[in-house]
Structure 1
Amino acid sequence: MSRILITGSSEGLGLMAGQLLVSQGHQVVLHARSQSRAADAKRGLPEAEAIVVGDVSSIAGTRQVAEQANELGTFDAVIHNVAVGYREPRRVTTADGLPHVFAINTLTPYLLTALMHRPKRLVYLSSGMHHHVDANLDDLLWTERHWNGADAYAESKLHDAMLAFAMARRWTDVISTALEPGWVKTRMGGSSANDDLSQAHLTQAWLAVSEDKGAKVSGDYFYHLKRMAPNPQALNAALQDRLLERCAQISGVRMPE
């Protein structure tokens, strides 16, 4: 039996993964951004061990989530599922003055990785959209370019894959992987999505707990339980290190060696 934290799990794929893992006999801790969302999560998965609460759009809120998680002990796996979608029509900024998409999709998994007790496995959710963009590390915060919500989302999902592979390279005692769940009809995915929702939560749960040889290879990228090639930029160690450095500069939190 494993113990897993899933971020952004009051609904959607995060909650679905939690429900599957509990049905398999694992202990699951959920995350919600508010107490009302925590109540939704509890209704969706009454068997959850606990629910950590915090709005990860801010650095302070993400720190609170990390502190609550650490109070619960060390996890066997952390599934970095929390994200906002690709349809933001303008550059919305957070309390820290950061683009909303970057703060939640890129900086939150970075901060939680840096601040939480080190688990045995790290699982990061990317997206098929990451294949078609550049990392744009010189303009992470979209101060030089005209805002494009779809591109900002896709870049953030490329960053998540880069983070997964950076941690696989730096933390050799941790299995760190990334995946794309497919474009599915969730609140974030929207009604036009056409991938198979019944498959969308399986890979992250498998990567978090499975003893299958295929699930225990650090530094790989997956889609529907199968390895696939990520955007080549995700595999570039120099770009990975630059991303970690920029996140450290922006947040004031350095990734432990």
Structure 2
Amino acid sequence: MATILITGSSDGIGRHTAAVLAADGHRVVLHARDERRAEDAHTAVPAAAAVLIGDLASLAQTCELAGRAAAAGPFDVVIHNAGVGGGQRAPQPTEDGLERIFQVNTLAPYLLTALMPAPARLVYLTSGLEAAGRARLDDLQWQARPWDGMQAYSDSKLYDVLLAFAVARHWPGTLSNAVDPGWIRTRLGGPDATDDLPEGAETQVWLATSDEPAATVTGHYFKRRTSLTANPQAYDEQLQERFLAVCADLTGVELPG
């Protein structure tokens, strides 16, 4: 049985993923933004081993979360599930002065990856909207262009794929992949979404636990257990390196290896 950390697992896809893995006998550690959501998470998944607390919109709290996670591990699998949507009508700077969508969806998983011991498997949740993402590493904070929340969200999901592919190259001992869970009926996905929670969790569960040859690959972009072609920008190794350098500059933490 595996020991698995799932970020953003107080509701939605993350919580369902945790419930399935815990029911299968795995040691699952949840993550929530604050105490109230942590209580909700543990009530919903009582078989979970623990709930770690940390607001991913704060670099300081994300660093503290990495420390708590290291103490609660080691983990065989980390699923970077946490994320926020793009419905904001204006940029929402965090306490660090960074654009919130980018910080939560992309910079936080980078920082957790860089600070935690490398697991055997990493799964980064992205979105089909990564196909519309545009890598603008020169304007991550939306200071030089008119604000577009959905474009900011799409960009963040492209960066998640860039991160997954970059880690796959730098850490050959870790299986690092990105997953599009589909448009799932959750608080984030909304009531008009086309797919149910089980569909949104199945690929992460499979990548986390299966020893099938199709699941034990690295540097892939998956949807419904099928390896697909991601946004072409995600395969650009020079862009991957520039992205890692920007993340290291913003956080003060370089990706080991």
* TM-score normalised by the chain length of structure 2: 0.98
* Separation of aligned partners in 1, 2:203 and 2:140: 29
Please say if 1:156 is aligned against 2:156. Answer: yes
Please say if 1:212 is aligned against 2:212. Answer: yes
Partner of 1:60: 60
Partner of 1:92: 92
* TM-score normalised by the chain length of structure 1: 0.98
* Separation of aligned partners in 1, 2:195 and 2:234: 24
Code of the residue aligned with 2:185 in structure 1: it is K
Code of the residue aligned with 1:6 in structure 2: it is I
Please say if 1:46 is aligned against 2:43. Answer: no
Kindly report the root-mean-square deviation, in angstroms, between the aligned alpha carbons of the 2 structures: 0.8
1:86: how far off? Answer: 1.7
1:212: how far off? Answer: 1.0
Q: Residue 133 of structure 2 contacts residue 157 of structure 2 at CA under 8 Å; is this kept in 1?
A: no
Question: Which aligned pairs between 1:155-174 and structure 2 lie closer than 5 A?
Answer: 155-174=155-174
Deviates more, 1:60-69 or 1:184-193: 184-193
1:74: how far off? Answer: 1.2
Please say if 1:237 is aligned against 2:216. Answer: no
* Separation of aligned partners in 1, 2:166 and 2:149: 25
Q: Residue 3 of structure 1 contacts residue 28 of structure 1 at CA under 8 Å; is this kept in 2?
A: yes
Partner of 1:14: 14
Summarize deviations over 1:211-231 as a string: whole Å, max 9, x none: 111111001110011111110
The list of structure 1 runs, each at least 4 consecutive aligned residues, that deviate by more than 3 angstroms after superposition, is: none
SS of residue paired to 1:142: coil
Q: Residue 168 of structure 1 contacts residue 175 of structure 1 at CA under 8 Å; is this kept in 2?
A: yes
Partner of 2:184: 184
1:120: how far off? Answer: 0.5
Partner of 1:81: 81
Aligned length: 257
Deviates more, 1:130-139 or 1:87-96: 130-139
Q: Residue 66 of structure 1 contacts residue 115 of structure 1 at CA under 8 Å; is this kept in 2?
A: yes
**Runs of at least 5 residues in structure 2 that lack an aligned partner in the other structure:** none
Identity of aligned residues (%): 49
Q: Residue 182 of structure 1 contacts residue 196 of structure 1 at CA under 8 Å; is this kept in 2?
A: no
* Separation of aligned partners in 1, 2:97 and 2:54: 18
Partner of 1:226: 226
SS of residue paired to 2:143: coil
1:191: how far off? Answer: 1.7
Q: Residue 23 of structure 2 contacts residue 47 of structure 2 at CA under 8 Å; is this kept in 1?
A: no
Question: Which aligned pairs between 1:69-148 and structure 2 lie closer than 5 A?
Answer: 69-148=69-148
* Separation of aligned partners in 2, 1:121 and 1:150: 29
